[in-house]
A and B are shown apart, each in its own frame.
Chain A
Amino acid sequence: MKNSPFSSKENARYDKVHRQVVLPFKKSVEIAFKSIRVRFFRSLITTMSLILAISFLSFIHVSTDVANGMLATHDLEFRQALIRSGYDLGPEENSVDSSPKQQWLVILSLLVCIVGIVNAQLMAVTERFREIGTMKCLGALDRFILRLFLIESGMQGVVGAGTGALIGAFCALVNAFLRFGLKAVTAAIWQDVAVSISIATGIGLLLSLMGVLYPAILAARMQPVEAMRVEQ
């Protein structure tokens, strides 16, 4: 542990090999994970709108899956029950889709959700200006900062959207049980339900990443002095 040799003349023009600054991926994940844990409450708020929107999406899709499962049994009673409960079933049709109205609601809720995420992330980033500035003073590149935020929100996205998708699916099944009885639930095609849950989780993850992109770029581009001047 003695003084570095960098002041010698040969090294005055810093050569490529010595110049590298790195942040291994594993370390990024570790930092991101700790950061979420420390700021658990803030993360929860950011994730809440995602959970709600994704559970709604998942609810709609799984309900449709259950209805299709009921139709697949060719049970006429189920068919009547579905028509009574508002599904648009033509005499020849043997499958249902979510109604345009439901689809609009889902899209709207996803839009609201992404605005919510951007908003929450902008606040979170502002709270962390000083930390970002400090990291840059320690040698962090813009893309380290960007990567940290993306990993963080990716984790939040998977957990939040996964939770939301499961909650939505569970509610859809309970709803089907209450309306059509146990037989309807057991008629559901579990593969379809699993696919619906995965799609909802994937969409949630995507939304979460999209929502953090702008705030994260903003944070990553900041000059250290600007970032550190912010009073906290």
Chain B
Amino acid sequence: MEDMSNIVRVSKVTKTFQLGKIEVHALKGVNLEVATGKYISIMGPSGSGKSTLFNMIGGLDKPTTGKVFIDEVDIAQLDAYELAWLRCRKIGYIFQTFNIIQVMTALENITLPMIFGGMSNDAAVEKGFQLLELVGLGDRFQHKPFELSGGQQQRVAIARALANDPAIILADEPTGNLDLNTGEEIIALLKQLSQERNVTVISATHDIKMLNVSDQVVWIRDGRIDKIENREELSISVGQIDIRE
């Protein structure tokens, strides 16, 4: 249990939403261990609880029962400051809907988490340029989000997620709103980052293309983990996976 190579550990997590009188059991007891530096894909049909699990791991929402550990620290025990610090420095979030702050330029979006993290403005701007370069948007720093395409916005989001050198990148359907080619580019970029920087990537997805780059695929169905497959076991062709979906 005290295995330090597990950066994320989800233990018996359930989540119940109360919709009036109806209870929706989005997660029904999920156990999951994620090793440092791995690229994990969470696969499952719509409504199976991927986003809910994503929010739990990211400390964006609290489980009804069960615990989430990041670096073996129970995040339910963190106070507001520690939680903010965790979101700022430890985890980078990428969303299906990009969630770029619309009133700020690409560069300002990327520097904001660094400012929160205590970096000086000049240093943040310099690193912001490097990150934009890294995601292939070096010349677009002054653009407002609405002047960028979806794929470009997602690149900005990735650069922003990387701003404070997080140990974990959480991506909820990062390619969900992108066309095939752009989606592939984004996936390749995430994979490259995970390899070069030893960042743990956890990505919820419908996207079969994600499987090729994943070290591990977690199949989730109806609020439970169906099975976990390692890369070696994944020697099935994409066609077969298609049927499974």
Contacts and interface: CB of A to CB of B under 8 A. Distances in A.
A6 B89 contact: yes
B165 A4 contact: yes
B71 A6 contact: yes
Interface string A126-144: 0000110111111111101
A22 B99 contact: no
A209 to B, nearest CB: 22
B101 A21 contact: no
A131 B101 contact: yes
A18 interface: yes
B80 A141 contact: yes
A135 B116 CA distance: 10
Contacts of B60: 137, 223-225, 228
Interface stretch (A7-15, A56-64, A178-186, A187-195): A7-15
Nearest to A2: B197
A20 B102 contact: no
Contacts of B102: 131
Contacts of A31: 104
Interface residues of B, number: 46
Contact of B165 (A1, A39, A141, A223): A1
A133 to B, nearest CB: 8
A138 B159 CA distance: 12
Contacts of B61: 223-225
B180 interface: no
Contacts of B118: 20-22
A139 B84 CA distance: 4
Contacts of B112: 135, 138
Interface string A1-38: 11110110101111000111111100100010011001
B164 interface: yes
Contact of A1 (B71, B130, B160): B130
Interface string A208-229: 0000000000000001110010
A139 B198 contact: no
A193 B55 CA distance: 58
Contacts, number: 116
Given A3-B197, A7-B36, A138-B113, A14 B84 contact: no
A23 B167 CA distance: 22
A137 B71 contact: no
Nearest to B115: A27
How many of chain A's residues touch chain B, expressed as a range? 35 or more
Contact of B4 (A1, A3, A9, A135): A9
A6 B167 contact: yes
Given A21-B88, A138-B160, A223-B60, A7 B116 contact: no
A135 B234 CA distance: 38
Interface string B164-208: 111100000000000000000000000000000111000000000
Nearest to B36: A7
A138 B99 CA distance: 11
A3 B7 contact: no
A141 B82 CA distance: 10
Interface string B65-92: 0000001110000001110111111100
Contact of B90 (A6, A138, A225): A6
B121 interface: yes
Contacts of B103: 34-35, 38-39, 131
A13 B95 CA distance: 28
A6 to B, nearest CB: 6
A125 B164 CA distance: 28
Interface centre among A18, A27, A134, A135 (most CB of B within 10 A): A134
Contacts of B197: 2-3
Contacts of B89: 4, 6, 18, 139
Q: Which 4 A-B pairs have the closest CB atoms?
A: A139-B88, A4-B165, A38-B103, A139-B116
Interface of A: 1-4, 6-7, 9, 11-14, 18-24, 27, 31, 34-35, 38-39, 130-131, 133-142, 144, 223-225, 228
Given A6-B89, A137-B58, A142-B80, 16 more contacts: A4-B167, A7-B4, A13-B73, A14-B73, A18-B89, A21-B84, A23-B115, A35-B103, A131-B101, A131-B103, A138-B160, A139-B84, A139-B113, A140-B84, A141-B84, A224-B61
